[in-house]
A and B are shown apart, each in its own frame.
Chain A
């Protein structure tokens, strides 16, 4: 047990080193997009609008938080691992060390979770300037952590399977980007046709948004969505092992 923790720390250590060296820059970079969304959609487009009994800005902040958690967690664990594996080739060194598959996967995932949480926290602070969230419950931080884990695992999977840089960008354009706009981040799923909302319920980000929004605005907590999000996490975690096995050929 203690050995596993030490191994996980050894794997995450290198990324922590990198993060601490570039903390200000990375935080600033990850905040640009969400702050732009907040200004454009929250203040520009949605000014004066009301959704589900809340002002649009209140409604959209949890969505942008979910979006930020997703992209930061995915990009952090995915892109660095992808570069380490295909370009620096230093991931081979980790594979040739006596560190277990579990420790490698957890180490590579945790850095994404950590940065996802850091960026979300920074954004949350920025949001409070615009509009306080009315009724934050305990499920809010829990949902946020779960969201980071889900997308960090996903980043690890894609980074381990990508054969080229193009594979990685293709996945981001075809899956991550559509998901970020369509998963109820900027609009209520009750406003769209039922057929489409069924399709969107296949996106983990949809459930992340529902959980975060409900726990921030004091709505009834969508336990079913929380469960689905957990299932996504477990499935992605298992797929990480399969992907790691495949990368050893």
Chain B
């Protein structure tokens, strides 16, 4: 069995809202898998089910061979979770937050100290270990949450919108951290509504919209489905028209054939954004 996460016909309903509908998905051992979609697409709900915080309305989910609905305690031992919002205890300092997590995850007192020191070093927070959470920057808080999630050496790390609200440099640091974790053999399941993030990090991407998985594959494969090159044409200076082509040559050919009244024309590589727009008719960051 190559998959570490298996989702079969998962549906999750809140009152009348079907947050996730008939989701089928495998995530392989050791890969960085990205769940890409706009806010409210059902990404966080899926993570909540995968991490035992919510129960499936129907369907089944296995993580590392354990059924999340029937064996939540076994699942909890093999997963680490970094939620989208801050979930550090604000009444504790960084090290104490780590210690609490270590205690809750049964790390013996002899290992605890060393493991905490190692992880704080790994995410670059050694100097901040005695600081209260409120004194940290946004990036440091996220790094602390990642360090905390790693304390029990999880097989799968879930990251819900890991870089939302962070500046560009910090975002890149977090990306490096995620890549280095993946290099160590940890499977990463992340959600994002940033196209660049999915393209920069993920080996495979699932695109979700309104609770449904609408595309799945490697970023390059997905881009191929719309065409690798995209032409943007600003029409009447008001709105942009997009045309997709198998390669740049075809795109250039098309541009040359256009009449001269089209003034602003851009030829670029297609992105996952184009895939999303083609499939849904709207942009990923459109609310």
Most buried by B among A9, A13, A17, A93: A93
Nearest B-chain residue to A249, judged by Cβ? B54
Verify A14–B92 contact, CB threshold 8 A: yes
Verify B104–A88 contact, CB threshold 8 A: no
Verify A98–B73 contact, CB threshold 8 A: yes
Complex: A48 Cα to B70 Cα, angstroms:
65
Residue A90, interface by CB 8 Å: yes
Nearest B-chain residue to A15, judged by Cβ? B91
Chain B min CB distance to A149 (Å): 23
Residue A99, interface by CB 8 Å: yes
The contact string, 1 if C-beta is below 8 Å from chain A, for chain B 25-54, is 000000000000000000000000001111
Known A17-B92, A248-B54, A249-B54; contact A92-B105, beta-carbon cutoff 8 A: no
Cross-interface CB contact of B103 among A13, A88, A90, A249, cutoff 8 Å: A13
Task: Give the contact-size bracket for chain B.
Answer: 20 to 34
Chain B min CB distance to A4 (Å): 12
Chain A min CB distance to B252 (Å): 51
Count A interface residues, CB 8 Å.
25
Known A93-B101, A98-B77, A98-B105; contact A88-B90, beta-carbon cutoff 8 A: yes
Residue B130, interface by CB 8 Å: no
Chain A min CB distance to B100 (Å): 5
Residue B140, interface by CB 8 Å: no
Complex: A95 Cα to B75 Cα, angstroms:
12
Complex: A99 Cα to B87 Cα, angstroms:
18
Known A97-B76, A248-B53; contact A89-B85, beta-carbon cutoff 8 A: yes
Residue A10, interface by CB 8 Å: yes
- For A13, what are the chain B residues with a Cβ–Cβ distance below 8 Å? 100, 103
Interface residues of B in 86-110 (CB under 8 A from A): 86-92, 96, 100-101, 103-106
Verify B104–A89 contact, CB threshold 8 A: no
Chain B min CB distance to A55 (Å): 43
The contact string, 1 if C-beta is below 8 Å from chain A, for chain B 206-225, is 00000000000000000000
Chain B binding surface, main DSSP class: loop
Interface residues of B in 42-85 (CB under 8 A from A): 51-55, 73, 76-77, 79, 81, 83, 85
Residue A6, interface by CB 8 Å: yes
Nearest B-chain residue to A98, judged by Cβ? B76
Complex: A7 Cα to B102 Cα, angstroms:
11
Known A96-B76, A98-B76, A248-B53; contact A89-B103, beta-carbon cutoff 8 A: no
Cross-interface CB contact of A90 among B55, B81, B89, B106, cutoff 8 Å: B89
- For A9, what are the chain B residues with a Cβ–Cβ distance below 8 Å? 103
Residue A18, interface by CB 8 Å: yes
- For A92, what are the chain B residues with a Cβ–Cβ distance below 8 Å? 53, 83, 87
Cross-interface CB contact of A96 among B51, B55, B85, B103, cutoff 8 Å: B51
Sample of 18 more A-B contacts, CB < 8 Å, known A92-B53, A98-B76: A3-B106, A9-B103, A14-B89, A14-B92, A88-B88, A88-B91, A90-B88, A93-B101, A93-B104, A95-B52, A96-B76, A96-B81, A97-B101, A97-B105, A100-B73, A248-B52, A248-B53, A248-B55
A-B contact pairs, 22 of them (CB 8 A): A10-B100, A10-B104, A13-B103, A14-B89, A14-B96, A18-B91, A18-B92, A88-B90, A92-B53, A92-B83, A93-B81, A93-B100, A93-B104, A93-B148, A94-B104, A97-B105, A98-B73, A98-B106, A99-B104, A248-B53, A249-B14, A249-B54
**Chain A residues within CB distance 8 Å of chain B:** 3, 6-7, 9-11, 13-14, 17-18, 84, 88-90, 92-100, 248-249
